[in-house]
Amino acid sequence: MKRRIVLVDDHELVRAGVRSALGERVEVVGEAGDVASAISVIEATRPEVVLLDVHLPGGNGPAVIRGLTDTPARFLALSVSDAALDVIEVIRAGARGYVTKAISAEELLDAIERVAAGDAVFSPRLAGFVLDAFAQQPVAAPDPELDELTLREQEVLRLLARGYAYKEIAHRLSISVKTVESHASAVLRKLQLSNRRELSRWAAERRLI
Amino acid sequence: MLCSMTEFGTATLGPLWQVPRLRANQRWLGGVAAAIATEVGVAALPIRLAFVLLTLTGGIGLALYASAWLWFTYHLRSKGQVSTAYLPVPKALSPARRQLGLWLVVAGLLVLSRRLLTFGVGDATLWPVSLAAFGMLLAWSSGKMNWSAPYELLRAVGGLLLVAAGVVAFIALNFGASVAPKALLVATGALSLVVVVVAPWLWRAASQLSEERLKRTRADERAELAAHLHDSVLQTLSLIQQSADDRNVTVQLARRQERELREWLFGRSGAATDAPSFRAALERLGAEVEQLHGVPVEVVVVGDGPLDSRASAALGAAREALVNAARHSGAPRVDMYGEFGPERLEIFVRDTGRGFERSNVPEDRRGLSESIVGRMDRAGGSASILSAPGKGCEVALLLPRTTP
């Protein structure tokens, strides 16, 4: 069955490009170019996956996710943005993954499938951002459950950053693909729930705010 | 920026009077003594003492100080280079000789001042004027009117009080103590009138000036932006139009431009061009290889730090690995991951291309053994190459960071 998706990007050309790249293998049920119309389109069409641009007129990607209180849709951030803080923000708002627009159609389809199934999607770049953010030592009230990555999670993220796919990681670490997926999901959860102020401090230090 | 008095000094006296421009915390008053000391290469204290002594023994010290303060020009060393007009004062060979020479000069001036100043103006004029001049110097030297710094405020107020004391003393000593209050009243009245008339005008002029400066800054920024976009984005766009048929060239051009623009926008390597950091160097390397060989290179970097010679060696090895992957693997993309950790530095270059068996690589192909493994060995690190036919290739470079 084809996945029902909505494209949210303020550039008409980008939407057209993504649509033609995905072709007949998904069903594009709606498109939107800003925050307000994105919210109404997603509420009306109830897609499975929303491809969400990080930067949007009227409040950026996180505003779309926060504006939708009751939706079964899962979000995959898609952006050319290099700014780590923006990426981390959209993930913290609830996106299940982040891929760059340089991604191939095949990889994008795979990512959509993965997100629709409830998995996390880490591009090498996102893995790098997360490793970098968590590498800072927490200063105040560290909650090891949320504020630190386990050694295994770090291992998985490093391999993701090195360009490995889930299957290759599973093979390399002699664990199952399911376990790799659960590690990735755990990292995503930590990123979303952790109150580490370091995430923003880290971004500030890099002059990204 | 140079202030107006400096320009004046340059015009009349030329570079011989140039002294180093000192930071606020290096000066006591106008920075004259400290500047001379720095220039000649001795401690500032004796120079300061000499000025004080010369002042107390007849006032010439104050005159010298004030004139030096007015006439000295500063050369800026802040950008690591001395202005071309600057001629350094020849320095004596040893510090001891410099000290000796200095004291001789001081002693000579001392004697001279006793001789000269017993004639001329009397004490009744000299001392009040000296006092007022000193106060003026003190008040002016606070430079930027930064009222939040208590020290600056103290200096300005103290200076003004000294000026007032000088004026009162002058009147009292020369015209008798009885006229002093009246004279002071008249002087104060006249002064306040001037202040009332002149202050608003000064204020307006100053705010106009800063407004203009702001406008100019904005215009400059716009011009810089326009220039940058013209040199980069517009050029690339026209190149893309010319080669729109060749998809590979177009994609390559677009990617290169994207990288450049992003680098510029997010300022990752803007300031780091003088002393390249690990992150900036890796990103530049990726962009270079991508441009040369037309294969996209995805660069991910975690952590950052300065590049030393050993890290540069690792970068050289990484470059070789990247070039190999781009040229021989046939993979659509090469991933490079670098991590600058507290104990070690790691770089991974990976492709999902055709891979190879190491034993099948001919001896004369020096790339792997010499440029990668050998280079890492010499730098005190290690390199491992993991590949199998059909399975892609990953080169892992590891360099322990020696802790000083």
> Is B50 a member of any domain?
yes
Per-residue pLDDT of chain B (404 residues; tens, 9 = 90+): 333 333 333 333 334 445 666 666 666 777 778 777 777 777 778 888 888 877 776 667 777 777 777 666 565 444 444 444 444 444 444 566 666 666 666 666 666 655 555 555 566 666 777 777 777 776 665 544 455 566 667 777 787 888 888 888 888 877 777 777 777 788 788 878 877 877 778 888 888 888 888 888 888 788 777 777 776 787 778 778 777 777 777 887 888 788 778 777 766 544 444 557 888 889 888 888 888 888 888 889 888 888 888 888 888 889 888 988 888 888 888 999 999 888 889 999 998 888 877 767 665 555 666 778 888 888 888 888 888 888 888 999 999 987 44
Contact assignment for B266 to A102 by CB distance below 8 Å: no
Contact assignment for B350 to A131 by CB distance below 8 Å: no
Nearest CA in chain B to A202: B303
Are B42 and B170 contained in the same domain? Answer: yes
A 61-80: CB under 8 A from B: 80
DSSP character for B317? H
Q: What's the confidence (pLDDT) of residue A159?
A: 92
> Is B248 a member of any domain?
no
Contact assignment for A131 to B267 by CB distance below 8 Å: no
Whether B302 contacts chain A with CB within 8 A: yes
Rounding to the nearest 10 degrees, give the CA dihedral for residues A33, A35, A38, A44: -150
Looking at the DSSP assignment, which residues form a beta bridge with residue A5?
A28, A49
Are B23 and B137 contained in the same domain? Answer: yes
> Is B46 a member of any domain?
yes
Query: Does residue A32 have a pLDDT over 80?
Result: yes
Whether B300 contacts chain A with CB within 8 A: yes
Higher pLDDT, B361 or A53: A53
- Cα radius of gyration (chain B): 34
Nearest Cβ partner for A82 among B262, B296, B394:
B262
CATH of the structural domain A121-209, one choice from 3.20.20.70, 1.10.10.10, 3.50.50.60, 3.40.50.720: 1.10.10.10
- Whether A82 and A56 have beta carbons less than 8 Å apart is answered as no
Q: What's the confidence (pLDDT) of residue A146?
A: 65
Residue B82: which residues within 8 A CB-CB, separation 6 or more?
B75, B88
> Is B18 a member of any domain?
yes
- Whether B327 and B293 have beta carbons less than 8 Å apart is answered as yes
Distance between CA atoms of B24 and A185, rounded to whole angstroms? 55
Q: How many angstroms away from the CA of B312 is the closest CA of chain A?
A: 20
Residue B399: both structure tokens together = 């360099």
Nearest Cβ partner for A124 among B266, B300, B303:
B300
Residue B180: which residues within 8 A CB-CB, separation 6 or more?
B168, B171, B172
For residue B317, give the nearest of B396, B401, B400 by alpha carbon. B396
Nearest CA in chain B to A160: B337
- Whether A179 and A150 have beta carbons less than 8 Å apart is answered as no
Whether A17 contacts chain B with CB within 8 A: no
- Domain count for chain B, please give it: 2
Q: How many angstroms away from the CA of B336 is the closest CA of chain A?
A: 6
Q: How many angstroms away from the CA of B148 is the closest CA of chain A?
A: 27
Q: How many angstroms away from the CA of B388 is the closest CA of chain A?
A: 14
Looking at the DSSP assignment, which residues form a beta bridge with residue A78?
A53, A99
Distance between CA atoms of B282 and B399, rounded to whole angstroms? 15
Residue B17: which domain range? 4-176
Residue A197: which residues within 8 A CB-CB, separation 6 or more?
A139, A140
> Is B256 a member of any domain?
no
Contact assignment for B266 to A83 by CB distance below 8 Å: yes
Contact assignment for A125 to B300 by CB distance below 8 Å: yes
Domain harbouring B325, CATH code: 3.30.565.10
Q: How many residues does chain A have?
A: 209
Distance between CA atoms of A70 and B11, rounded to whole angstroms? 76
**Which pLDDT tens digit goes with each residue over A167-195?**
889 999 999 999 999 999 888 888 877 66
Contact assignment for A162 to B394 by CB distance below 8 Å: yes
> Is B207 a member of any domain?
no
> Is B59 a member of any domain?
yes
> Is B212 a member of any domain?
no
Residue ending a domain, choose from B145, B176, B207:
B176
A 29-58: CB under 8 A from B: none
Q: A-chain residues within 8 Å CB-CB of B302?
A: 128, 131-132, 135, 161
Whether A11 contacts chain B with CB within 8 A: no
Residue ending a domain, choose from B176, B197, B219:
B176
Nearest CA in chain B to A85: B266
Whether A204 contacts chain B with CB within 8 A: no
Q: What's the confidence (pLDDT) of residue B265?
A: 74
Nearest CA in chain A to B392: A164
Query: Does residue A101 have a pLDDT over 50?
Result: yes
Q: How many angstroms away from the CA of A47 is the closest CA of chain B?
A: 31
Are B170 and B300 contained in the same domain? Answer: no
C-alpha separations of A55 from B28, B263, B361 in Å: 53, 18, 48
- Whether B291 and B252 have beta carbons less than 8 Å apart is answered as yes
Residue B47: both structure tokens together = 């120079």
Whether B255 contacts chain A with CB within 8 A: yes
Whether B352 contacts chain A with CB within 8 A: yes
Q: B-chain residues within 8 Å CB-CB of A127?
A: 300
Q: B-chain residues within 8 Å CB-CB of A162?
A: 300, 335, 337, 348, 350, 394
Contact assignment for A158 to B296 by CB distance below 8 Å: no
Q: Which stretches of B58-188 are assigned E, i.e. beta strand?
A: 73-75
For residue B289, give the nearest of B245, B311, B259 by alpha carbon. B259
Contact assignment for A131 to B302 by CB distance below 8 Å: yes
What counts of helices (H) and strands (E) characterise chain A? 11, 6
Q: How many angstroms away from the CA of A163 is the closest CA of chain B?
A: 6
Q: CATH top-level class for A1-118?
A: alpha beta
Burial class (CB in 10 A: 0-12, 13-18, 19+), B61: buried
Residue ending a domain, choose from B176, B207, B238:
B176
